[in-house]
Amino acid sequence: MNSLATGWLSPAEWEVLILSLKVSGVAIVAALPASFALAWMLARWRFPGKVLVDALVHLPLVLPPVVTGWLLLIAFSPNAPLGGFLERTFGVTFLFRWTGAALAAAVMALPLMVRAMRLSLEAVDRRLESAARTLGAGPWRTFATVTLPLSANGILAALVLGLARSVGEFGATITFASNIPGETQTLPLAIYSALQMPGSDIQVARLAGLSVLLSVGALVLSEWLARRSGQEKGRHVV
């Protein structure tokens, strides 16, 4: 840990860190609109098959991650209809690519994000929305000025939960995207690989320390954000 305290990382460690941040960042940005749409559907709509949608959303939470990774493999391999379609139309491939690691991380983070957002949307007082309508606001303005600010804390919580989940993602990633240094080897996968090599205790400790720093940093950031938005709301409360 001494060499870590000086703040210098080896090029390989930098690579792992940057890749981890890229993979989880892209995963969360991609999962955010999808999970919000799902949370909205589950919180606000009544439709046949809602129970099924709810169950599907929660599947990555209850399945062994290896199984989720295998299902992704089946769905997104270039030979599969979905994977083939994506490759032909958008030129996007997932197998053995960092995009695959991001997809796996997004899928694993989705249920947690949907749950947090759904709870906060359900907590919004709909009578306030109808008040906004009588004051002349259309549905979109009502959403932007009433629903969204009143559920902002839940959305923030969803982001932090999702980020923590995706940074730590291991099982589905290694199954689906494999463990390729510089392409799909995120922090947990790098730790796992280092553990396989004899005499790499220091390497493991450094990577684990990095992982701890990253998590604590995310936690502090979310606390700070939550406190700041709390202060904003209580600005004039005596």
Partner 1 sequence: MSSDAPAFEIAVTLKRGRLRLAYDFTAGPGLTALFGPSGAGKTSLLDAVAGLARPAQGRIAVSGTVLYDRAARIDLKPERRRCGYVFQDLRLFPHHTVRDNLRYGWKLAEAQQRSLGWDHTLDLLGIAPLLDRMPATLSGGEAQRVAIGRALLSGPAFLLMDEPLASVDAARRGEILGLIERIRSDLKLPILYVSHDRAEVERLADRIIPIPAP
- The residues that touch partner 1, with contacts defined as CB under 8 A, are 125, 127-128, 130-138, 141, 145-146, 149-150, 233-238
Angle, CA 12 vertex, CA 183 and CA 7 arms, to 5°: 130
Which residue's CB is nearer to partner 1, number 125 or number 201?
125
Which residue's CB is nearer to partner 1, number 2 or number 134?
134
Q: How many CB atoms lie within 10 A of CB 90?
A: 8
Cβ 227 to partner 1 shortest distance, Å: 16
Cβ 42 to partner 1 shortest distance, Å: 24
- Say if residues 108 and 166 touch (Cβ distance below 8 Å): yes
Which residue's CB is nearer to partner 1, number 11 or number 127?
127
Cβ 223 to partner 1 shortest distance, Å: 20
Which residue's CB is nearer to partner 1, number 46 or number 127?
127
One-letter amino acid of 46: R
What are the E-state strand segments in the chain?
A: none
Q: How many CB atoms lie within 10 A of CB 221?
A: 12
* Among candidate residues 20, 212, 14, the one with its CA nearest the CA of residue 105: 20
One-letter amino acid of 169: E
Cβ 221 to partner 1 shortest distance, Å: 22
Tokens linked to 237: 């409360």
- Say if residues 193 and 185 touch (Cβ distance below 8 Å): yes
175 membership: H or E segment, kind and range: helix 171-176
Which residue's CB is nearer to partner 1, number 182 or number 230?
230
Cβ 238 to partner 1 shortest distance, Å: 6
